[in-house]
Structure 1
Amino acid sequence: MTALRLDELRRHSDVLRLRSGKSLTVRFLEPGDAEPLQAYFRALTTNSRYNRFLGAMSQLPHNLLADFIHVGEGDRFSVIATMTIDGHETIVGEARYAFDPDKDSFEFGLSIDDRWQGQGFGTALMRNLECRAAAFGATRLFGDTLRSNTAMIALARKSGFDFTNNPDDWKLVRFQKHSDLAPKEIPCASWRLAAQRISLQATV
């Protein structure tokens, strides 16, 4: 699948309402987001970057940044969660995911800015990812994290995921969840349309 066009990227965004009254906008990354995304990762604490990339990294290498920005290539997708702070759109979280139609599986990873952790942002983004998985028709969601990443493990547990060993790396734990949710059961109905469009493109 080739990267999605800019007009397609902007057509599918979700606004998530938090219990605190704050709202998050979750949208696909656009080419102009390269520098803000790089700044977001640089601003994470060393520990948060280590947890997100499963190793030491001060910023995204050029090739990986390009992968993040070119949404849809290789059937991988990247989104950012943003808030308006002091009049400016600010990235407060991100996620990257891939759908495997042969296994009906949805693999993902995410991070939240250290300043906003513990305020429900991770839970909201996780629920949005579940909706995206449902829109694709995925029945299995999973991700891998370091055994020392207590924040991600707690978020996954709170979201109903089970845990197992990673088959390839003893330092990682795999969290997974089987789901038969329909997109309409989670508040992001636009993603049913997005998934249908992407599915049609993939068969052309």
Structure 2
Amino acid sequence: MSALRLEDLKQYSDTLRTRRGEPVKLRFVEPRDTEELQHYFRSLSTRSRYNRFFGAISELPTGLLHDFLRVGEHERFTVVATMTVDGFETIVAEARYAFHEDRAAFEFGLSVDDRWQGHGIGSALLRNLECRAAALGAERMFGDTLRSNQTMISLARKSGFVFASHPDDWKLVHFDKDVAVAPKDIPCASWRLAALSRQANSPSALA
């Protein structure tokens, strides 16, 4: 899939729900989110940041921040989950994912703001990511996490992932699962995104 323009990406968003039914908007990150995204990561607890990046950082380094903001290039995407808090759109979770077409595999990492953990946002986000994986044509999805990250391990286990030792780092565990969402059941925005991109790259469109 080739990268789409920011204006194309802006029209795609999904609405997730917390356990209490509160709406959570999931959309692709935009340049206007730069400061808010940094604020989000700075506001995470030290443990949550360590779990997300497998190391001690206080904020996103400039290069990594730039990577997070580049959506669609090399089949890599960043989405942010936002809620209205005290009248302001606030990032409460994020996910970064990549589609490896040669392996029909979908790789992802995610985090949820400490104040919003336990509200079902992580589970809803993970279901949406599986939807996006299916939309892109992935046959399996996978991720890595620290052995000490019991929150992520529990979330992945409840979502049907299978665990294995990481081949390169004893501190990590690898988890994956087959993508089980049928095309006709895909409601997420990336299904429309993938369809639009395929149409744009079809032989008829390029003629």
TM-score range, shorter chain: over 0.9
1:130 aligns with 2:127: no
Q: Which runs of 5+ in 1 are unaligned?
A: none
| 3-state SS, counterpart of residue 102 of structure 1 | helix
Q: What is the CA–CA distance in structure 2 between the aligned matches of 1:157 and 1:202, rounded to whole Å?
A: 37
- Paired AA for residue 198 in structure 1: S
Q: What is the CA–CA distance in structure 2 between the aligned matches of 1:65 and 1:201, rounded to whole Å?
A: 29
Aligned residue number for residue 79 of structure 1:
79
Q: Which runs of 5+ in 2 are unaligned?
A: none
Note the C-alpha offset of 1:197. 2.6
Aligned residue number for residue 35 of structure 1:
35
> TM-score, length-normalised on structure 1?
0.93
Q: What is the CA–CA distance in structure 1 between the aligned matches of 2:166 and 2:201, rounded to whole Å?
A: 30
> TM-score, length-normalised on structure 2?
0.92
Q: How does 1:49-88 map to 2 (within 5 A)?
A: 49-88=49-88
Note the C-alpha offset of 1:182. 2.0
Aligned residue number for residue 144 of structure 1:
144
Aligned residue number for residue 192 of structure 2:
193
Note the C-alpha offset of 1:96. 0.1
> Equivalent pairs: percent with the same residue?
62
- Paired AA for residue 49 in structure 1: R
Q: For the aligned residues, what is the CA RMSD?
A: 1.7
Aligned residue number for residue 108 of structure 2:
108
- Aligned pairs, number: 203
| 3-state SS, counterpart of residue 177 of structure 1 | strand
Superimposed CA distance per residue, residues 132-169 of structure 1 (whole angstroms, 9 cap, x where no aligned partner): 00100111100000000000000000111110111111
- Paired AA for residue 118 in structure 2: G
C-alpha distance 201-171 of structure 1, shift in aligned 2 (>3 A):
farther
Aligned residue number for residue 10 of structure 2:
10
| 3-state SS, counterpart of residue 168 of structure 1 | coil
